Copies of this chain bind each other. A is one copy, B any other.
Amino acid sequence: MTNLTLALDAMGGDFGPRITVPATLQALRLYPFLHVIMVGDRSQIEPLLSHLESDILSRIELVHTTEVVKMCDRPVHALRNCKQSSMRLAIELVRDKKAQACLSAGNTGALMAISKVLLKTLPGIDRPALVSCLPAVNHKPVYLLDLGANVSCCSETLFQFAVMGSVLCEAVDKNPAPKVALLNVGIEEIKGNDQVQQAGQLLQQSPQLNYAGFIEGDAIYSGNVDVIVCDGFVGNITLKTSEGIARLLVHQLKKGLTQGFFVRLLAKLIAPRINSVLNQMNPDHYNGASLIGLRGIVVKSHGSADESAYLQAISLAVTEAQRRLPKMIEERLESILLDINN
């Protein structure tokens, strides 16, 4: 396996190096070909690196900075003022080809803004999209984009998201013809707003994509399609609503199963089964959203990710770097656009 270098914003997220460093060490043990450049405050990171095996230590580089993009910083502010922030320096390492991908658990808006300016979008792509993989029936993954990087999108942008989502699914899941759908209020052609209807027409004219038409909210988790496209306003609310209702169900179930001695006892005996279902729905187990459409790889972790969730996000960055995702998207998009124009 060819060596691969990731740049990590070690300071991002709710817990900073306390989570990002141990998770990174796990990743280094898991992937012998992996090198990392940790960007952040030396005084917080170095104590977490003591007593390390020399093999692991030799694959870690540290770039020191004390500046951090705060969660409440506006994207424009972060872009203009946080020039020495751990987030920006990590993205610069990708821009300067010193790393093949970068990862941050920090402020999403700032990550999007800085990445877009430093890395630029691919030819044919107007705006990067935030995409993540959700659990569907039978553990079949489904990609949902955009998750909030673009609160409003024209039909052309939705079309580009569909192409990018399809290529991502091809690359990561080795799915030769991912089924792509547009999220809408009904499956009939007459349903929805102008953007969705026009995006549907564009997709129908693209024989290279496996377009499956409109899909409703209740079919997202059915496992019938592989990629679901919507604007960032809808996608963000859809994702968070799913997390909310899953949490409500878990809460109610736990409450129902802890009232009464007999019920509590029986529930305890089958707790592993119940927990395995609940864990499957836990957003942390699907951690790692990718900013795709850029000329470099940027992965976003949940700010509240724990060690294993952060490791998930690292693994996603590794997979995308191994597959050279931006190059794949660029080539497929070029070919699809040529096809439409002819």
Report which A residues bind B (CB closer than 8 A): 72, 74, 135-137, 148, 151-152, 183-185, 188, 190, 192-193, 216-222, 230, 232-234, 236-249, 251-253, 256-257, 259, 263, 266-267, 269-270, 273-274, 276-277, 280-281
Contact = CB atoms under 8 A, between A and B. Distances in A.
A185 B238 contact: no
A182 to B, nearest CB: 11
Contact of A274 (B74, B234, B256, B259): B256
Contact of A216 (B185, B216, B240, B248): B240
A289 to B, nearest CB: 14
Contacts of A190: 74
A249 B248 CA distance: 11
B281 A257 contact: no
A151 B185 contact: yes
B239 A221 contact: no
A119 B267 CA distance: 53
B72 A188 contact: yes
Contact of A241 (B184, B232, B242): B242
Contacts of A252: 137, 277, 280-281
Nearest to A134: B245
Each complex incorporates copies of this chain amounting to: 2
A273 B242 CA distance: 23
B183 A237 contact: yes
A213 B252 CA distance: 27
A280 B251 CA distance: 12
A190 to B, nearest CB: 6
A245 B244 CA distance: 10
21 contacts: A74-B190, A137-B248, A151-B192, A151-B193, A184-B237, A185-B236, A192-B233, A217-B243, A217-B244, A218-B241, A218-B244, A220-B244, A221-B245, A222-B244, A237-B238, A238-B241, A241-B242, A245-B245, A249-B249, A266-B266, A267-B270
Contacts of A247: 218, 221
Nearest to A74: B190
Contact of A237 (B232, B234, B243, B273): B234
B237 A216 contact: yes
Contacts of A248: 135-137, 221, 281
A242 to B, nearest CB: 5
A276 B249 contact: no
Contact of A238 (B136, B217, B232, B266): B217
A148 B192 CA distance: 9
